[in-house]
Amino acid sequence: MKNFLLSFLIILAAFAAGRYFFPAPASVSSPYINAVATTASANRGAPAPRVDPMDVDVVTTPEEERTIRLFQEASPSVCFITTKAIRRSFFSYGEVESGSGSGFIWDREGHVITNFHVVNGANTSSIAVTLANGQTYDASVVGYEKEKDIAVLKIDAPAGDLQPINVGSSQNIRVGQSVYAIGNPFGLDQTLTTGIVSALDREIRSQAGVPIKGAIQTDAAINPGNSGGPLLDSQGELIGVNTSIYSPSGASAGIGFSIPVDVVRYVVNDVIRYGEVRRPVIGADFRQIGQVEGLIVYGVNPNGSAARAGLRGVTQDNRGRYLFGDVLVGINGNRIRTTSDLYLELEKYEPGQVVQLDIIRNNRQDKVELRLESSVGG
C-alpha cells in the first residue's frame, strides 16, 4: 500500500511539472490569424501565390525620378561601337576585334559621332554600331578631325530607329553643376554615371599631339569604353563628348575630360559638308627653332595669302648658307611663341577673316595684314 501511494504521488508530481513547463496553447481569437488559418485550410495543397516584383512600389525621390527620366529619354541616342582590324601571322589571316567605345546619333540621316581614337587603326570596313534597340549596322567613316579627337560615322538604318541626341551648348557651363555620362565602359552597354563639373577650360592633348583647349573636367566615372559617349546636363542636353581620363591605374580616378559641344558642333558640320574641317590657315610653313622668340617662317606657298602679304621665308645665299626670313611673334596683338600658340590662336577665326601679323624682319618689328585662307579648297 505504501509503495502504491508513493508511485501515485510521483505520477501526480510529474503531471504537475509538465503542466508548469509545457502549458497548453492559449486560445487565439485574432480575426487576421483566423482568416489566414481558414484560407490556408481551404487552400491546403494549392501552390503558394507568387508576388511580382514589378507590383511592389519602390519609393524614389523627385531627384531620382528626374535622373531616371533623363536616362530613359537620352539612352536611345547612345550607341555601342566595336572595331575590327586585320591581323596577319604565319598561321592565320583575318579580322579580330581591336577595340570598343561609345557614340551617339547626331541626325536621322544616320550620322554617328564618336572619338577619333575609338576608330583609329580599325579596318574601316569593319566598324559596327549597335543601337539601343539591339540592332547592329556596319558603319563607314565620313571624316574626322584628329586634332579634336572627333570622328563622324555613317550607318544605313531606318529613320525610325534613329533618335538624335538633344544638342545643347557649352557656353554657360558652371563648375558644380550636375552632369551625366552614358556609355559602354568595359563593353557594358547603356551604363549611366553621374557627377559634377569639376573644372573648366582644361587643356588636354589630342591624338595628333596638339592641344585641345577648353575641355570640361568632370568626376563622373569615365572608364575605357566610355570614349566617344555623351556628357549631358540636367536637361538631358549634350554639353560634351567624353574623350579621356587622368588615371595612374587606367581606370576612373574621378578625373575625366570632355570636348565641349560647341567645338564638336562646328567640327561635325564641316566634316559632314566637306569631309574635313575648314580651318583658317596663313599659307606658310612655320618652325619652332632653338631659342628664337617666335616661329620662323620656313616656307611660303607661292599662290597663298602669305605670299600675297609679302611674308618672307628661309632663303639661301650664294654660298649655300641659310638665311632667316620673317619671324612670327603675334597675331592681332596676341603673342605667339610656339606652334601650340599658333594653333590655338587661329581657332578664334574663320577662313576669310583679315588678321594682323606681328613679325620680326631684319631685326625690326613690323606688321603685316593678311586674309586667312581655308584648309579646304573651294
pLDDT at 198 over 90: yes
Integer Cα distance of 170 and 164 in angstroms = 18
C-alpha cell read off for 106: 547626331
Q: Between the ranges 218-222, 225-229, 266-270, where is the mean pLDDT highest?
A: 266-270
pLDDT of residue 30: 37
pLDDT at 293: 85
317-327 mean pLDDT: 86
Binned at pLDDT 50, 70 and 90, residue 29 comes out as very low
Q: Where is pLDDT greater, at 3 or 128?
A: 128
Write down the pLDDT at residue 194: 92
Catalytic residues: 117, 149, 227
* SS3 call for 191: strand
- In whole angstroms, give the CA distance from residue 20 to residue 33: 26
How far is it, in rounded angstroms, from Cα 251 to Cα 254? 9
For residue 51, what pLDDT band results from cuts at 50, 70 and 90? low
Q: Looking at the predicted structure, is the pLDDT value of residue 214 above 80?
A: yes
Average pLDDT of the chain to the nearest whole number: 81
Torsion over CA of 183, 189, 192 and 197, rounded to 10 degrees?
Answer: -20
Instruction: Give the pLDDT mean for 303-326.
Output: 88
CA distance 256 to 251: 10
H or E segment at 35? helix 31-42
Give the pLDDT score at 217.
Answer: 93
Nearest CA-CA partner of 178 in 194, 196, 193: 196
All three cell numbers of 331, joined, read 597675331
Weakest mean pLDDT among 40-54, 72-86, 245-259, 350-364: 40-54
Main-chain phi, psi angles of 135, to 5 degrees: -80, 135
* pLDDT at residue number 247: 58
Here the contacts of 291-296 (C-beta below 8 Å, separation 24 or greater) are 292/327, 293/327, 293/329, 293/337, 294/327, 294/328, 294/329, 294/336, 294/337, 294/360, 295/327, 295/328, 295/329, 295/336, 295/337, 295/338, 295/339, 295/342, 296/324, 296/325, 296/327
Share of residues in the chain with pLDDT > 70 (%): 76
Phi, psi (degrees; rounded to nearest 5) at 357: -90, 130
pLDDT score, position 279: 85
pLDDT at 22 over 60: no
**All domains of the chain, ordered by start, with CATH?**
77-161 (2.40.10.10), 178-274 (2.40.10.10), 280-374 (2.30.42.10)
For the chain, give the percent of residues with pLDDT over 90: 46
Average of per-residue pLDDT across 135-158: 93
pLDDT in tens, 203-213: 887 766 777 88
Is pLDDT at 282 greater than 90 in this prediction? yes
Q: pLDDT category, 195, cuts 50, 70, 90? A: very high
Q: What is the CA radius of gyration of the chain?
A: 36
Q: How many helices (H) and strands (E) does the chain have?
A: 7, 22
Top pLDDT among 292 and 142 is at 142
- Inform me whether the pLDDT recorded for 7 exceeds 90: no
> Looking at residue 12, what is its pLDDT?
55
* Tens digits of residue pLDDT in 96-124: 455 788 999 999 999 999 999 888 876 55
* Average of per-residue pLDDT across 60-85: 91
Top pLDDT among 284 and 225 is at: 284
